[in-house]
């Protein structure tokens, strides 16, 4: 088994949305070439981030689940999901992490990628908007027109915020600016931004730094929202149906094991995500998945349609891989 060289959370936070123009329209691989049980490719490379949301890929590698599936996996650190999407579309990576929002938007624009495995949904309280303790911002309404940091726009932070606001029938429009997660707390402290969005483990770090939570973005319509997935390029999937099947099954096996033993995951996490041991014991964990959940992904697609981020005729089912047992 090849081992991954982990990157720091500071490097992780440098995520940026990359344009997918030029990728071209690709036929969906959700029902690609028939599998015959023999792996077409055993040595694969997976683009990863050392975050709890994508912990299943690290668990599968360390616990021998990939090896059991006949896969020799190299985990390649990347800066973010949008980069992973670009790299699988171009064939530079075989699989990569992504989030459901970025993936759906780029699929609607013609990116030749497919959601191979659904790995986790938002844990309750895992994504917040925070301010300085003495900030005049007290509630969600006070964020209208305020400068709020998020790692990238048209992503989980601003999209779930808009979804929550819409559900409450309010007209609240912050001025979203892109700030790396690693700089979010210092940006709020310095006053360069008036509030900041942070998922775990950054939200726990913000609270430890004395920041005050204003909004929990995992409530209401965002409760248990499907967030984290693994994607692959359609050409790769069509050429490697058994390899794709083996990868998805290993990810789901890992998700099942992690869901069944949260204490073990919390003890294991610091060595993977560089999360301090004390934060790993208290931070909000994602909800790991052991199977594809098409209705959960359709809920995300509906949210994106309501915000005009994908067209009304976008059909996520055309971009989702299903195991024969699904």
DSSP string, 49-113: --SGGGHHHHHHHHTTHHHHTT-EEEEEE-S-HHHHHHHHHHTS-SEEEEEHHHHHHHHHTT--E
Give the CATH number for residue 62. Answer: 3.40.190.10
Q: Mean pLDDT across the stretch 91-98? A: 97
Residue 3 is assigned to a structural domain of this protein: no
Q: To the nearest 10°, the Cα dihedral for 125, 126, 132, 135?
A: -50
- pLDDT tens by residue, 186-230: 999 999 999 999 999 899 999 999 999 999 999 999 999 999 999
154 burial (CB, 10 Å; 0-12 / 13-18 / 19+) is middle
Higher-scoring residue by pLDDT: 163, 154: 163
- Is position 326 within any domain? no
pLDDT of residue 11: 33
What is the model's pLDDT at position 35? Answer: 60
Count how many Cα atoms sit within 13 Å of the Cα of residue 68 in the half-sphere of its side chain: 13
In the chain, the number of structural domains is 2
Judge if 158 and 106 occupy the same domain.
no
**Domain edge (last residue) among 204, 222, 240:** 222
> Distance between CA 51 and CA 182 in Å, rounded?
13
Q: Is residue 1 part of a domain?
A: no
| Residue 171 burial (C-beta neighbours within 10 Å; 0-12, 13-18, 19+) | exposed
- The predicted pLDDT at position 34 comes to 59
C-beta separation of 197 from 267 below 8 A: no
On whether the CB atoms of residues 231 and 95 are closer than 8 A, the answer is yes
* Residue 48 domain boundaries: 9-17+26-122+224-319
- Has residue 165 been placed in a domain? yes
Beta carbons of 51 and 273 less than 8 angstroms apart: yes
**DSSP secondary structure string for all residues of 13-34:** T---PPP-TTS------TT-SP
In the three-class reduction of DSSP (H, G, I as helix; E, B as strand; rest coil), residue 237 is classed as helix
Q: 72 lies in a domain? A: yes
pLDDT at 87: 96
The confidence score (pLDDT) of residue 126 equals: 92
CB atoms within 10 A of CB 208: 14
**Same domain, residue pair 100 and 13:** yes
Residue 154 lies in a domain: yes
CB atoms within 10 A of CB 67: 14
Per-chain mean pLDDT for the chain: 89
Both 238 and 315 in one domain: the answer is yes
77 and 30 in one domain?
A: yes
Domain check: are 241 and 206 in the same one?
no
Are 232 and 294 contained in the same domain? Answer: yes
Section 36-57 average pLDDT = 91
Q: What's the pLDDT tens digit per position in 299-316?
A: 999 999 999 999 999 999
Give me the pLDDT at residue 182, please.
87
Residues 13 and 109 in one domain: yes
Kindly calculate the radius of gyration of the chain based on its CA atoms and give it in whole angstroms.
19
How confident is residue 140, by pLDDT bands cut at 50, 70 and 90? very high
Last residue of a domain, one of 222, 250, 277: 222
Between 326 and 162, the higher pLDDT residue? 162
Instruction: Verify that 45 and 157 share a domain, yes or no.
Output: no
CA 144 to each of CA 52, 128, 138, 147, 162: distance values in angstroms, whole numbers, following the listed order? 31, 16, 12, 9, 12
User: How many CA atoms lie less than 13 Å away from 112 in the CB half-sphere?
Assistant: 20
- Shared domain check, 232 and 197: no
Query: Which of 100-109, 226-235, 238-247, 274-283 is least confident?
Result: 274-283
The verdict on 118 and 147 lying in the same domain is: no
Same domain, 106 and 254: yes
Rounded to an integer, what distance in angstroms lies between the CA atom of residue 247 and that of residue 162? 34
Domain membership of residue 155 (yes or no) is yes
In a domain, 162, yes or no: yes
| 276 lies in the same domain as 228 | yes
Domain finish residue from 200, 222, 244: 222
pLDDT at 16 over 90: no
Interval 94-115 mean pLDDT: 96
Place 36 in a pLDDT band, splitting at 50, 70 and 90.
low
């Amino acid at each position: 088994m090849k081992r991954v060289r982990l990157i720091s959370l500071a490097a992780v936070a440098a995520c940026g949305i990359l344009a997918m123009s030029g990728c071209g329209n690709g036929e969906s691989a959700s029902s690609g070439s028939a599998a015959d049980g023999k792996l077409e490719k055993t040595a694969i490379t997976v683009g990863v981030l050392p975050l709890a949301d994508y912990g299943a890929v690290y668990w599968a590698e360390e616990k021998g689940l990939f090896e059991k599936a006949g896969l020799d996996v190299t985990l390649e650190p990347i800066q973010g999901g949008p980069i992973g999407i670009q790299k699988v579309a171009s064939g530079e990576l075989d699989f990569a992490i992504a989030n459901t929002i970025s993936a759906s938007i780029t699929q609607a624009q013609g990116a030749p990628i497919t959601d191979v495995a659904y790995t986790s949904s938002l844990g309750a309280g895992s994504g917040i908007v925070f301010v300085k303790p003495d900030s005049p911002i007290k509630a969600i309404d006070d964020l209208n027109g305020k400068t709020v940091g998020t790692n990238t726009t048209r992503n989980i932070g601003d999209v779930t915020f808009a979804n929550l606001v819409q559900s409450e029938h309010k007209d609240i429009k912050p001025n979203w600016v892109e700030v790396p997660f690693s700089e979010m707390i210092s940006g709020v402290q310095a006053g360069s931004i008036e509030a900041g969005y942070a998922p775990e483990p950054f939200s726990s770090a913000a609270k430890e730094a004395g920041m005050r939570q204003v909004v929990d973005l995992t409530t209401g319509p965002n409760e248990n929202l499907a967030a984290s997935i693994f994607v692959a390029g359609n050409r790769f999937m069509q050429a490697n149906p058994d390899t794709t099947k083996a990868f998805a099954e290993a990810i789901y096996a890992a998700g099942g094991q992690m869901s069944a033993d949260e204490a073990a995951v919390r003890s294991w996490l610091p060595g993977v995500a560089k999360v301090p041991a004390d934060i790993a014991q208290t931070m909000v964990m994602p909800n790991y998945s052991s199977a594809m959940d098409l209705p959960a992904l359709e809920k995300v697609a509906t949210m994106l349609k309501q915000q005009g981020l994908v067209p009304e005729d976008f059909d996520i089912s055309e971009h989702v891989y299903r195991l024969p047992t699904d």
